[in-house]
Amino acid sequence: EQDVTEYRKSLSIRVSGFDVPRPIKTFEDCGFSPQLMNAITKQGYEKPTPIQCQAFPIVLSGRDIIGIAKTGSGKTAAFVLPMIVHIMDQPELAKEEGPIGVICAPTRELAHQIYLESKKFAKPYGIRVSAIYGGMSKLEQFKELKSGCEIVIATPGRLIDMIKMKALTMLRATYLVLDEADRMFDLGFEPQIRSIVGQIRPDRQTLLFSATMPRKVEKLAREILTDPVRVTVGEVG
């Protein structure tokens, strides 16, 4: 325990919550499949970043998480890799029943980046990834969603549009990520986020990432996460 405490202190990492799993040090420690390890190596990732070291064991154990770390700290892989494991752990992949993993991001640029990162790790498994954001044809997106996907990455407004058009349902969703929650609030997406969360089963796993934790985001986190572990890396939040 002492070494973990010292280690976290040396990297300005603060962790709170009960029964927090010990951080991992290597990708091998995570028990990822050979296929996933291959994709990680192909990416040129040699070792997990500090937020990943903390987040992987928490998220892989099924716990909710609040991750606070500045831009560039590797938060995307921190939620994408455990999401692949979560999807592969499903007893069977029923087709055309809507996504299992749902990721909300504030802007189309961010959604697209997460899409590219997810594709790299999802592809070897034949996991289907759809990106849904403004500026693209709604009809095209409708058709793509109708053909089925396991992961959807979306801006909140466009995801609501697609749900209203019955392009997808949230019936199969069990892994929800709110990325850059503070920016989504800044952009006025709180009602859309609440609506999306309200459509996903309450026993889902919920992950919230943010660079800062304004009071409104804090309040949402208290309402929608269950016994989360909070990980803060660096002098932020």
**Residue nearer to Mg ion on the CB measure, 145 or 207:** 207
x-or-dash string of contact with ligand ADP, 16-45, rule CB under 6 A: -----------------------------x
**Contact pick of 36, 49, 193, 232 for ligand ADP (by CB under 6 A):** 49
**Residue nearer to Mg ion on the CB measure, 59 or 145:** 59
CA distance 186 to 106: 9
Q: Judged by CB under 6 A, does residue 212 bind ligand ADP?
A: no
**Contact pick of 23, 32, 48, 121 for ligand ADP (by CB under 6 A):** 48
**Contact pick of 66, 77, 105, 127 for ligand ADP (by CB under 6 A):** 77
DSSP conformational letter for 222? H
Check: CB of residue 175 under 8 Å from CB of residue 204: yes
Write down the least CB distance from residue 106 to ligand ADP, Å. 12
How many other C-beta atoms lie within 10 A of the C-beta of residue 112?
14
Q: Judged by CB under 6 A, does residue 75 bind ligand ADP?
A: yes
Check: CB of residue 56 under 8 Å from CB of residue 24: yes
Which of Mg ion, ligand ADP, none does residue 125 bind (CB under 5 to 8 Å by kind)?
none
Q: Output the CA torsion sign for 129, 133, 137, 138.
A: positive
Check: CB of residue 81 under 8 Å from CB of residue 63: no
How many other C-beta atoms lie within 10 A of the C-beta of residue 156?
23
